[in-house]
Amino acid sequence: MIISSVKSSPSTETLSRTELQLGGVWRVVVLNDPVNLMSYVMMIFKKIFGFNETVARRHMLEVHEKGRSVVWSGLRENAEAYVFTLQQWHLTAVLESDETH
C-alpha cells in the first residue's frame, strides 16, 4: 500500500513523525454523493473502521442527510491511510485539520 512505501525510508519516517507531533489532530470526512448505495457505504464503514451496524448506519445517514460525516480523527499519517482506503472504495473522502485541538 502507498503508505508503506513512505515508511520504508528512515529519513522520511523521522520527518513524518516530527510532522505528526506538530500536526495535531486530523479528521477523516466522508462527503455525500448521489451514486453510492446506502448499503454499500455502510458495508465500507463496517469493514474499514470496524463499526457495528448502528454506528455505521448513523454515519451513513449523516453523510446522506447533512452532506458529510467525520468518521475518524487522530494522527495525520493514519488519517491519510483511511482517506486513501475510502477513496479506493470510491467514496469521496477528505482530510481536514481539527483546529479544536
Partner 1 sequence: MKRIEVKLSLSIVAPLLDVIRLLADGLSQKLAAPQELGDVDEDFRDAWLAELITGQTADVKALLALFDEEFFTEGIVAFDEDNAEPIVRACAAVRLRLREVYLRGLGDDTLEGGDVELEDLAEDVRKAFMCYLFLATVQELIIQHLDSSIIES
Residues that bind partner 1 (CB under 8 A): 1-2, 5-6, 33-37, 39-40, 43, 46-47, 80, 84, 87-90, 92-96
Cβ at position 34, least distance to partner 1 in Å: 4
Cβ of residue 100: shortest distance to partner 1, in angstroms?
18
**Maximum distance among all Cα pairs of the chain, rounded to whole angstroms:** 44
Residue type, 66: K
| Cell numbers placing 75 | 494522527
22 to each of 3, 14, 72, how far by Cα in Å? 19, 13, 19
Nearer to partner 1, 70 or 94 (CB): 94
